Structure 1
Amino acid sequence: MNMVRTALLLAALTALFMGVGFLIGGQQGMVIAFVFAAGMNLFSYWNADKMVLRMHHAQEVDEHTAPEFYRMVRQLAANAQLPMPKVYIIHNPQPNAFATGRNPENAAVAATTGLLEMLEPEEVAGVMAHELAHVKNRDTLIMTITATIAGAISMLANFGFFFGGNRDNNGNPLGFVGVLLAMIVAPLAAMLVQMAISRTREYSADRLGAEICGSPQWLASALGKIAGGAARIPNMTAEANPATAHMFIINPLSGQRMDNLFSTHPATENRIAALMDFAREIGRPAAPMRTERVAEPARQGPWGRSSAPTDSRSNRRGPWG
């Protein structure tokens, strides 16, 4: 079903791309836009994940460079019965994370340093389980391709004046007015497509992520912290690439976050409430987070080793051990 939805989305975005081309350059512009869109669809299928990771300056890590984090993702992937994805860290103070890749065999998960430093290990596990849920549900292909094509539509409209957007544009009856309409409507249309494909998927990924990590409370607690951090800490890279906002677990962009058509994500409060309902449904009422590690001195972060002693019982708890 997701493959069918991906094909329909690509067709819709291609049609939108052609419409922008027609407004800018008439029939000739529409043909050029179609050729460009077809090439971009093919390129995006194979390379969109790499493009998104490069946009956010993600650095790949392994068991040597980020041992605790990498092992956590490996255990969660095993819980989800998924191949081990590539693991990335983004040096950004805003707590956030996303997943990308055209299929589970070519997936990647990325977390910001802000997320790894601000959240407890259980909360990080809940977040990464949510991202692996997107991989398991095969959401990542459609989310990643939408990010690249929606960004291209906005770029095409913004650069409309360079593609015949002048008053003497021969063969384009809409002329200058058409270019202005394309510049205004196309980015909004692309944004609406992004919103439509992302919001309903977050609830599904939250629920499956809770199953993967074993605790809805972990993810619920993480969502509250991430939303608070994202509201306080700007993500300038995401602001420069807004077409990728729907990929993150929490909207990384500044501005009002409302649970309506004009939001890339459901309201965090609604997601937390759904997770707590799920916890009650499976017979797991709210439980306090494990806090043994909070008081550890000289903690080096979840991708390094701490010199503090650990409780042997705690090492056997959680998805990473």
Structure 2
Amino acid sequence: MGYIKTAVLMAAMTALFMGVGYLIGGTGGAVLALIVAALMNVFTWWNSDRMVLRMHNAQPVTPGDRLGLHALTAELAKNAGLPEPKVYLIDTPQPNAFATGRNPANAAVAVTLGLLRSLTREELAGVIAHELAHIRNHDTAIMTVTATFAGAISMLANFALFFGGSRERLGLIGTLMMMFLAPMAAALVQMAISRTREYAADKAGAEICGQPLWLASALEKIAMGAARIDNHAAERNPATAHMFIINPLHAHKHDSLFATHPATENRVAALRAMAPQYGRTSNAADQQISASRVPKTKTRRRAGPWS
């Protein structure tokens, strides 16, 4: 999806936000909704990375960590033409990862302990390259703002439930419909943005690490792990689910509402279709990545100091 289509979707979300505000308080409600949206966007723009990382209790990884995670990320960032992002570790057994930050100069990549235990060094490189692609494409800022809008619209719809809205404008049935349709529409827009951008990040990530099959294999392992291992922090904050490389939710009935990712098998098929153009041999970038100190497959080491 191009940036023009994304801008159109964001404009539609803003209009929807104002529409709910209008139902609740008329013209004044619409203006207030617009002001609140602007303030929320400013706050989110400057604090999105810290907000999300705090939600998942992510801990910083310092240069020279014993598993070489920081070194691997730095090498891949160089390949991608990006400033070196901050690196974080999340102490959860579910294999997963996400990127956050308002721009490439203020970005962070977070991986879970379960990811380090599950993947080979090549697969880990594919995952980090995918997250760096999101940063390079400025997806992290767009997705965070979209999630903020979705949450705000749901909040306004709940206000309509308690205060009744302006029933003389649409009637009781219209108000009740808006309570349910507004959050649903916001979720659909969020889903459309996230699903399309996952394919784009998969392709760009394969280019960054130099081998699509690394990421394809990683996606299969992560999908299997995420389906059977709970991620309690993600379940408490389902609005962040679209930021992960694979949907981390499955424990609750409402989780299907946040199914923002395309089918893993479709992503894997697209990556495998790319493989012939890269060949089976290692290029210079591959050799540099393989030489980095990264976790071995299925290490059982417990989380500890990373400095």
TM-score with structure 2 setting the length: 0.84
Query: Which of 263, 266, 271 does residue 270 from structure 1 map onto?
Result: 266
Residues 63-89 of structure 1, C-alpha deviations (whole Å, 9 max, x = no match): 255651111111111111110111112
Aligned partner of residue 265 in structure 2, secondary structure: helix
Pair 66,148 (structure 1): closer, same or farther in 2 beyond 3 Å = farther
C-alpha deviation, 1:251, in angstroms: 1.1
C-alpha deviation, 1:236, in angstroms: 2.7
Partner of 2:275 in structure 1? 279
Pair 295,134 (structure 1): closer, same or farther in 2 beyond 3 Å = closer
1:197-276 matches, within 5 Å, as 197-254=193-250, 263-276=259-272
Amino acid aligned to 2:89: I
Pair 140,66 (structure 1): closer, same or farther in 2 beyond 3 Å = farther
Partner of 1:33 in structure 2? 33
What is the rounded CA distance, in whole Å, between the counterparts of 1:48 and 1:13 in structure 2?
19
C-alpha deviation, 1:50, in angstroms: 2.3
Amino acid aligned to 1:264: T
What is the rounded CA distance, in whole Å, between the counterparts of 2:214 and 2:193 in structure 1?
25
Partner of 1:137 in structure 2? 137
RMSD: 3.1
Please tell me whether residue 11 in structure 1 is matched to residue 14 in structure 2.
no
1:18-97 matches, within 5 Å, as 18-63=18-63, 68-97=68-97
Partner of 1:181 in structure 2? 177
Residues 137-170 of structure 1, C-alpha deviations (whole Å, 9 max, x = no match): 22121112112221222222234345x32xxx67
Pair 269,16 (structure 1): closer, same or farther in 2 beyond 3 Å = same
Partner of 1:313 in structure 2? none
What is the rounded CA distance, in whole Å, between the counterparts of 1:304 and 1:38 in structure 2?
38
C-alpha deviation, 1:43, in angstroms: 2.1
What is the rounded CA distance, in whole Å, between the counterparts of 1:204 and 1:279 in structure 2?
16
Partner of 1:155 in structure 2? 155
What is the rounded CA distance, in whole Å, between the counterparts of 1:170 and 1:188 in structure 2?
20
Pair 299,238 (structure 1): closer, same or farther in 2 beyond 3 Å = closer
Is the CA contact (8 Å cut-off) linking 1:25 and 1:172 kept in structure 2?
no
What is the rounded CA distance, in whole Å, between the counterparts of 2:23 and 2:267 in structure 1?
40
Pair 274,4 (structure 1): closer, same or farther in 2 beyond 3 Å = closer
C-alpha deviation, 1:35, in angstroms: 1.5
Is the CA contact (8 Å cut-off) linking 1:49 and 1:144 kept in structure 2?
no
C-alpha deviation, 1:53, in angstroms: 2.0
C-alpha deviation, 1:100, in angstroms: 1.3
What is the rounded CA distance, in whole Å, between the counterparts of 2:109 and 2:166 in structure 1?
48
Pair 4,43 (structure 1): closer, same or farther in 2 beyond 3 Å = farther
Residues 269-320 of structure 1, C-alpha deviations (whole Å, 9 max, x = no match): 11111111111122238xxxx9x94498x75679869xxxxxxxxxxxxxxx
What is the rounded CA distance, in whole Å, between the counterparts of 2:47 and 2:8 in structure 1?
20
What is the rounded CA distance, in whole Å, between the counterparts of 2:233 and 2:225 in structure 1?
16
What is the rounded CA distance, in whole Å, between the counterparts of 1:83 and 1:23 in structure 2?
45
Amino acid aligned to 1:276: R
Gaps of 5+ in 1: 306-321
Query: Which of 192, 199, 205 does residue 188 from structure 2 map onto?
Result: 192
C-alpha deviation, 1:131, in angstroms: 0.2
Pair 299,282 (structure 1): closer, same or farther in 2 beyond 3 Å = same
Gaps of 5+ in 2: 282-289
C-alpha deviation, 1:6, in angstroms: 5.3
C-alpha deviation, 1:237, in angstroms: 2.3
Residues 172-204 of structure 1, C-alpha deviations (whole Å, 9 max, x = no match): 533644442232111111111111111121122
Which is helix-richer, 1 or 2? 2
What is the rounded CA distance, in whole Å, between the counterparts of 1:154 and 1:112 in structure 2?
29
Partner of 1:119 in structure 2? 119
Amino acid aligned to 1:20: V
What is the rounded CA distance, in whole Å, between the counterparts of 1:207 and 1:6 in structure 2?
19
Amino acid aligned to 1:26: G
TM-score with structure 1 setting the length: 0.80
- 123-132 or 247-256, which deviates more: 247-256
> For this pair of structures, how many residues does the alignment match?
292
Pair 60,3 (structure 1): closer, same or farther in 2 beyond 3 Å = farther
